[in-house]
Amino acid sequence: MLDIKIDEKTVSTLLENAINERVDELAKQKYFLTYNELSKYLNISKPIIEDRLIKNGLKYYKIGSKYLFKKSEVDEFLDDVTSCMNATNNDLKFFTKIKQVVGSI
């Protein structure tokens, strides 16, 4: 058995450093992604983003001629899309979200 003794000041310093590193990581994360950044983030082409994601409901924000995508909404959208896939229907390139039709009585 190991008997390691660490004083309170060392623990406090280590904890403070870990917290500061995480805060720096969070500060560097982007809130919005451009088309190019989204393409790199998902590792898919711009035409696939347009044809398969935007046409199936991925939200975007337009500022002038620039399109921006909220990173959290992209992640949520993809979680929803991939939850609809199975072993034989798992190619995003051919994915079309099934529209639910609600009939009236």
3-state SS assignment for residue 62: strand
**83, two tokens:** 């939850």
- Prediction pTM value: 0.59
Are the CB atoms for 36 and 49 separated by under 8 Å? no
Q: What is the pLDDT of residues 43-80, one digit of tens each?
A: 989 998 888 888 888 999 998 988 999 999 999 998 88
Are the CB atoms for 69 and 61 separated by under 8 Å? yes
Please state, in angstroms and rounded to a whole number, the distance separating the CA atoms of residues 60 and 68. 6
Q: What is the pLDDT of residues 42-53, one digit of tens each?
A: 998 999 888 888
